[in-house]
Structure 1
Amino acid sequence: MSEELVLKFVDPQPMRYGENSHQSAVFYRDPTCTEANLASAKQLWGKELSYNNIVDADAALEMAREFSDGNAVVIVKHMNPCGLATGETLREALEAAWAGDPVSAFGSVIAVTRKVDLKTAEFLKGKFVEILLAPAFDDDALKFLKNKSKDIRLLEVGEIKKATACKVYKHVIGGMLVQDRDIGTWEKFECVTKAQFPKNKEDLARFTWLVTKHTKSNAIVMCYEYKPGYFQVMGLGPGQPNRIDSNLRLCQPRVRDNVARLPEAKEFFDENGKLINEAGLKALEKKVFGEVVMGSDAFFPFPDNVEAAHDAGVRYIVQPGGSKKDDLSIESADKFGIAMVFTGMRHFRH
């Protein structure tokens, strides 16, 4: 550890304003950064970037790095992944990510892991998006997006790869915090319950854990395998003062909202969208809750989240473990036949 911290940033770019309109702001570039990043991105179209645009786009890009080995789409609102999905095609991933929370996706920042083609671009017709960030754009996709809106910011960042180790900084009044970038994922993948975690749920659990890692604390996330081998966020509970609220007040209601939008739920509503088969919808909800994996970014100090998961029908949980009362959560999971995995690595995000 050095006795003195000296940082160098160059090429100051004035922002329209800061986090709020009464604050001024400037964006400096790190000349040592070689990864895809916002400071070196090429803006191909749209209004100039704002302070909040850059903060959200950086969060989206960090999430996209986790899924850079395939077609993935991250939709960010206020630094949380309101939609995130993988897909056989980029268009399919975008559709599944958007379905995770169509309301919050309004005015969002989107990062994709592959070159944007026309079919992917066409999905955004009539949808308000602040930023679409991608490694590159096909010419016809770029033309379509430019004709779609004069305001959408289109950012070309180059190839998106896994995150590399570096230091990250957070300024507080009177000082600077320095820490390692959170590039870790898990130290282990250990099933700690009598009910064993099925092999066919492990890929979904790992996807869920990566989404949970990038959700503001206290985070509860539920993800779903909407197609064999491809996953989407079904429910998100971010940034609450306590974890049980993240689960009961945010995540579970979002899952129920999304279940009602599934194709197989159409038969439960009439042509005017009125629910006509409540029992059928409840049965579908129970089925989906039984197939999701629930993630928590930190350990459970009490068994209340396990109990709440069981009440909804959840059968699979991934969390870091590490509480002095882990035994109570494990005991509760065993009581309800829930399979629970410990990863050994917490991912608080403040």
Structure 2
Amino acid sequence: MSEKKNLKEIYRIMVDDPFPQSMEISFIENGERQTLFYEKAVWNIDGEVKGLRYGENPDQPAALYKLVNGNLVLGQVSIIQPGKYLASDIELLQSGKHPGKINITDVDSALNILKYFPDKTCCVIIKHNNPCGVAVASTAAEAYHKAYFADRVAAFGGAIAINTTLDKETAELITQSYSEVVVAPDYTEAALAILKTKKNLRIMRIENINRLIDFRDERFIEPRALIDGGIIMQWSFRSAVMSKEDFLPAETEYKGQKYAIKRKPTDKELDDMLFGWLVETGVTSNSVIYVKDGVTVGIGTGEQDRVGVAMIARDKAYTKMADRLCWEKYKTPWNMFDDERKKQEIWEEVKAENGGIKGSIMVSDAFFPFRDGVDVGIKEGITGVVQPGGSLRDFESIEACNEANVTMVFTGQRCFRH
């Protein structure tokens, strides 16, 4: 029998890093070489130089590299220029248990959503590279509060990213629960003092968050390693929809007959459609989300079938609203609340609002192959749908929406994220 391990300690260790200080990736075509140069990112913590704590798991060594030189042009696409750093060059104001690979990639996933909202105060809470909640609001505290209560349970131990200076009020809200990471372009002195009372919290500053709009249209290379050591390379995703005017009318032709959405979206619906689509680009596929008033209501991620993920997003919306109401009224999590009478009262309130889905926008990262997907949302009272379009049977979804007086737009673009 193997030696008994202290399982709690394996998550606190620093794994030896065998990776080199620098790295080069060269692309050669027709005898011409283009090379990207990278340097390992490290931090000076208590006089000791440290890189990543470990990779996805404690027994996987890992290293973080930042691009320091090289101008790559492939076809008509140019890579992001070196020196414009975000997640690869964070400033650690407090290291907590010291960041690992997941902490950095969670921050990066948050930034990939935040970059679409440079003119609004936005908060993104990420867990395992997926948003738990996203909200735009007039203040950082309000944005955090809405994002947190969109899914309070999933937000436990997550990474919080805010695109404005984090103030005292927001810090006080954040320290009321457990988080692994908080990142912002800057902090007030009072906010930093409050956050540092949480000794295991990793407090990160990335000043370039103030210039995220510069990164919105930039492209970079995304490598994916295969089991045999091979690599798939692709250019990073860029949304084709950046404004309400970029949406396409939901219309199609099937067996010689034309179909089109009858009701055009209102301005308010278009606001949520754009918000929802830009958030959806940062959700793992297959995915469906519901959004309302600039806040995520239900997020379904990583499923194999579209109708199934629409149901998961619906079910999560119900349970997350129940938990929020239970916490607000009785400071007890929904799954631990044992007063059956009061619990039933809460559930009736949730059902009356269809888990908050009533009046929301349903967003899908790929087309609906049949009407059963949009029917899930329609039964819960959605008023609009955003989807790429392009299914052979788009007419089914159009007919389903017209029957319910639900509006729909196409993006003309899929946003799978795996």
TM norm. shorter chain > 0.5:
yes
Runs of 5+ consecutive residues of structure 2 not aligned to the other structure:
1-26, 43-50, 69-80, 251-260, 331-336
CA contact (8 A) 1:259 1:284 kept: no
Equivalent residue pairs, number:
340
In the alignment, the residues of structure 2 paired with residue 93 and residue 202 of structure 1 have an alpha-carbon distance, to the nearest angstrom, of: 20
CA contact (8 A) 1:191 1:197 kept: no
Q: Which residue of structure 2 lines up, in the alignment, with residue 30 of structure 1?
A: 67
In the alignment, the residues of structure 2 paired with residue 2 and residue 165 of structure 1 have an alpha-carbon distance, to the nearest angstrom, of: 22
- Asked whether 1:175 is paired with 2:225, we answer no
In the alignment, the residues of structure 2 paired with residue 33 and residue 99 of structure 1 have an alpha-carbon distance, to the nearest angstrom, of: 38
Deviation at 1:300, TM superposition (A): 0.8
Which residue, 304, 325, 343 being the options, matches 2:393? Answer: 325
In the alignment, the residues of structure 1 paired with residue 156 and residue 387 of structure 2 have an alpha-carbon distance, to the nearest angstrom, of: 30
In the alignment, the residues of structure 1 paired with residue 345 and residue 40 of structure 2 have an alpha-carbon distance, to the nearest angstrom, of: 60
Against the structure 1 CA distance between its residues 280 and 119, is the aligned structure 2 distance closer, same or farther, given a 3 Å change threshold?
A: closer
CA contact (8 A) 1:191 1:339 kept: no
Deviation at 1:105, TM superposition (A): 0.4
Root mean square deviation of aligned Cα: 2.4
Q: Which residue of structure 2 lines up, in the alignment, with residue 42 of structure 1?
A: 91
Deviation at 1:12, TM superposition (A): 5.0
Q: Which residue of structure 1 lines up, in the alignment, with residue 54 of structure 2?
A: 17
Identity of aligned residues (%): 32
SS at structure 2 position matched to 1:186: coil
Against the structure 1 CA distance between its residues 164 and 340, is the aligned structure 2 distance closer, same or farther, given a 3 Å change threshold?
A: closer
In the alignment, the residues of structure 2 paired with residue 100 and residue 281 of structure 1 have an alpha-carbon distance, to the nearest angstrom, of: 14
User: Which AA in structure 1 matches 2:39?
Assistant: V
Which residue, 274, 279, 286 being the options, matches 2:343? Answer: 274
Q: Which residue of structure 2 lines up, in the alignment, with residue 191 of structure 1?
A: 249
Q: Deviations over 1:279-318 (max 9, x none)?
A: 55422227x4331001001111111111111222222101
- Asked whether 1:283 is paired with 2:356, we answer no
Normalization by structure 2: what TM-score? 0.76
Runs of 5+ consecutive residues of structure 1 not aligned to the other structure:
226-230
Structure of greater relative contact order (alpha carbons < 8 Å, 6+ residues apart): 1
Q: Which residue of structure 2 lines up, in the alignment, with residue 228 of structure 1?
A: none
Q: Deviations over 1:200-256 (max 9, x none)?
A: 21101110111111111011000111xxxxx111100011111111111x2101221
CA contact (8 A) 2:285 2:417 kept: yes
SS at structure 2 position matched to 1:132: strand
For the pair shown, which has the larger CA radius of gyration, 1 or 2?
Answer: 2
Against the structure 1 CA distance between its residues 11 and 277, is the aligned structure 2 distance closer, same or farther, given a 3 Å change threshold?
A: closer
In the alignment, the residues of structure 1 paired with residue 90 and residue 308 of structure 2 have an alpha-carbon distance, to the nearest angstrom, of: 38
Deviation at 1:169, TM superposition (A): 2.0
- Asked whether 1:244 is paired with 2:307, we answer yes
Alignment of 1:1-350 (within 5 A): 2-3=28-29, 6-13=35-42, 14-31=51-68, 32-47=81-96, 48-147=98-197, 149-160=198-209, 161-162=212-213, 163-173=216-226, 174-186=229-241, 188-192=246-250, 193-225=261-293, 231-248=294-311, 250-260=312-322, 261=324, 273-276=342-345, 279-285=348-354, 288-350=356-418
Normalization by structure 1: what TM-score? 0.90
Against the structure 1 CA distance between its residues 65 and 280, is the aligned structure 2 distance closer, same or farther, given a 3 Å change threshold?
A: closer
SS at structure 1 position matched to 2:134: strand
